[in-house]
């Protein structure tokens, strides 16, 4: 399994003094899916300015969160056979990007299946990393475990720079700036083979997607030959849709109930984290677990809705049970918790205010004997309000009038009251 440490180990090498990239190939494609220009360079011979910019793009293709922006994909069984895409990527890697037929074939596969409306640049890097042995305390020993040879691909949108004014030096004036086609950060990319537990896994690759809302399953299947995987963002969306679809016909405010369910999953996750301390395997949500959570939460959900959620959950996640953490909207839960804390504080303030009123009345009774008991009305206001209080007859009835401004609060017998 690919871990955060594995990715960081590769990214840390992507700097001038440690980089060992041997070759850079690329293809610039326009909006009509036509190849405009290709790149074939010895990477270490690039000018410094280009060297650093290409290196930054390579690093960006390994950025983001594992399970959301970075997915570990596995080749389909059919693609592991002779003539499959696994063999193709093995050949591309072993060629060191020096076989034009193989690189052209990859360009063609990407152009045919990459759904992007504008111009973009395909970049392919080749590297051979001498993986050094590490001790249990992560200290390196000057001894090689293996040579990890790999290719890294980054697909970068190319867009026109924004229009604006600039200084035109040869004319010594301010004028319209020339708009250039600028290479952006990678939108999609992949690393083959995957670097898992500091070793090559030729049955897998690490797939990068900048926008976790869309993992591009057709691209994964047709270009990479791997089985599709949802990002954490996609898993959360599918789960939310299943819950709201089942609750909407039978319950009010399904969004609030969804949050309660997520609170239940979060509580279960915290329990599992305590039990599995130190285990890198993230706890997953199963049909059985979600059924238990639905029964345990404070909200009473109809049995038909619970059965529908459990069944549709099992069907949607039949290939891979999602990590519990992926299904929790932490921001929404934090906002709900903040509201609950505020409500609890308001409740405590009201109770304290009532206690204060009760104590003051008791004190008045002790000091004045039975005089307080004769009061029909007890009014407590801030000092600046006292001078504003008036009495007035309306008809034959006498009233006490207290002027109020917008936004002023009223506590009536210890209860927060809207006037």
Longest pairwise C-alpha distance within the chain: 105
Say if residue 288 is in the same domain as residue 371: no
Say if residue 201 is in the same domain as residue 237: no
Residue 148 lies in a domain: yes
> Does 111 score more than 80 pLDDT?
yes
Say if residue 128 is in the same domain as residue 9: yes
Say if residue 366 is in the same domain as residue 324: no
Mean pLDDT of 204-221: 95
Residue 307 lies in a domain: yes
Residue 10 lies in a domain: yes
Residue 128 lies in a domain: yes
Say if residue 159 is in the same domain as residue 104: yes
pLDDT the model gives residue 355:
77
Q: What is the pLDDT of residues 321-347, one digit of tens each?
A: 888 888 888 888 788 778 778 878 888
> Does 140 score more than 80 pLDDT?
no
pLDDT the model gives residue 136:
61
The domain boundary residue, chosen from 180, 201, 229 = 229
pLDDT the model gives residue 9:
93
More confident site: 358 or 311: 311
Say if residue 38 is in the same domain as residue 103: yes
More confident site: 378 or 160: 160
Say if residue 310 is in the same domain as residue 323: yes
Residue 338 lies in a domain: no
pLDDT the model gives residue 282:
74
pLDDT the model gives residue 418:
67
Mean pLDDT of 340-360: 78
Say if residue 55 is in the same domain as residue 147: yes
pLDDT band (50, 70, 90) for residue 368: low
Say if residue 305 is in the same domain as residue 373: no
pLDDT band (50, 70, 90) for residue 395: confident
Residue 340 lies in a domain: no
Residues ≥6 apart with Cβ < 8 Å to 62: 7, 10, 11, 70, 152, 189, 191, 206, 208
Mean pLDDT of 226-243: 93
Lowest mean pLDDT among 85-94, 213-222, 274-283, 310-319: 274-283
Residue 387: give the domain boundaries: 347-417
Mean pLDDT of 350-361: 75
Say if residue 208 is in the same domain as residue 270: no
Say if residue 36 is in the same domain as residue 151: yes
Residue 342 lies in a domain: no
pLDDT the model gives residue 374:
55
pLDDT the model gives residue 365:
60
Say if residue 53 is in the same domain as residue 177: yes
pLDDT the model gives residue 133:
80
The domain boundary residue, chosen from 197, 214, 229 = 229
Residue 183 lies in a domain: yes
Tell the burial category of 139 from Cβ atoms under 10 Å away from its Cβ (0-12, 13-18, 19+).
exposed
> Does 57 score more than 60 pLDDT?
yes
Lowest mean pLDDT among 35-44, 84-93, 129-138, 288-297: 129-138
Question: Based on the structure, what is the number of domains in the chain?
Answer: 3
């Amino acid at each position: 399994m690919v871990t955060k440490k594995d990715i960081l180990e590769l990214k840390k090498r992507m700097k001038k003094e440690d980089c060992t990239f041997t070759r850079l190939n690329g293809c610039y494609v326009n909006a009509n899916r036509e190849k405009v220009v290709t790149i074939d360079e010895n990477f270490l011979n690039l000018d410094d300015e280009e060297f650093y910019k290409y290196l930054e793009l390579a690093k960006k293709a390994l950025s983001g969160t594992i399970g959301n922006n970075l997915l570990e994909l596995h080749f389909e069984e059919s693609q592991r056979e002779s003539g499959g895409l696994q063999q193709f990527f093995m050949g591309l890697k072993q060629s060191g990007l020096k076989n034009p037929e193989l690189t052209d074939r990859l360009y063609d596969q990407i152009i045919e299946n990459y759904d992007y409306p504008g111009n973009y640049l395909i970049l392919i890097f080749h590297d051979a990393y001498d993986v050094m042995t590490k001790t249990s305390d992560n200290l390196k020993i000057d001894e090689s475990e293996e040579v990890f040879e790999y290719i890294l691909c980054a697909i970068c949108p190319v867009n026109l720079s924004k229009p604006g004014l600039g200084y035109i030096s040869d004319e010594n004036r301010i004028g319209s700036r020339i708009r250039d086609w600028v290479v952006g950060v990678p939108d999609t990319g992949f690393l083959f083979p995957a670097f898992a537990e500091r070793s090559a896994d030729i049955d897998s690759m690490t797939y990068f997607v900048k926008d976790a809302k869309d993992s591009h399953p057709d691209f994964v299947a047709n270009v990479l030959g791997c089985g599709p995987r949802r990002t954490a963002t996609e898993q959360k969306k599918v789960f939310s849709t299943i819950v709201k679809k089942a609750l909407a016909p039978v319950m009010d405010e399904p969004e609030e109930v969804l949050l309660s369910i997520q609170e239940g999953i979060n509580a279960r996750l915290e329990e599992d984290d305590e039990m599995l301390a130190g285990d890198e395997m993230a706890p997953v949500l199963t049909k059985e677990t979600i059924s238990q959570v639905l029964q345990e939460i404070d909200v009473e959900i109809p049995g038909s809705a619970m059965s529908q959620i459990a069944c549709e959950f099992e069907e949607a996640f039949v290939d891979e049970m999602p990590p519990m953490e992926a299904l929790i909207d932490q921001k929404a839960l934090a906002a709900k918790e903040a509201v609950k804390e505020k409500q609890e504080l308001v409740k405590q303030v009201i109770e304290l205010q009532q206690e204060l009123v009760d104590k003051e009345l008791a004190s008045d009774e002790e000091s004045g004997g039975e005089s307080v008991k004769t009061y029909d009305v007890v009014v407590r206001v801030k000092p600046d309000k006292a001078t504003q209080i008036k009495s007035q007859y309306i008809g034959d009835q006498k009233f006490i009038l207290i002027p109020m401004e917008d936004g002023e609060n009223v506590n009536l017998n210890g209860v927060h009251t809207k006037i």
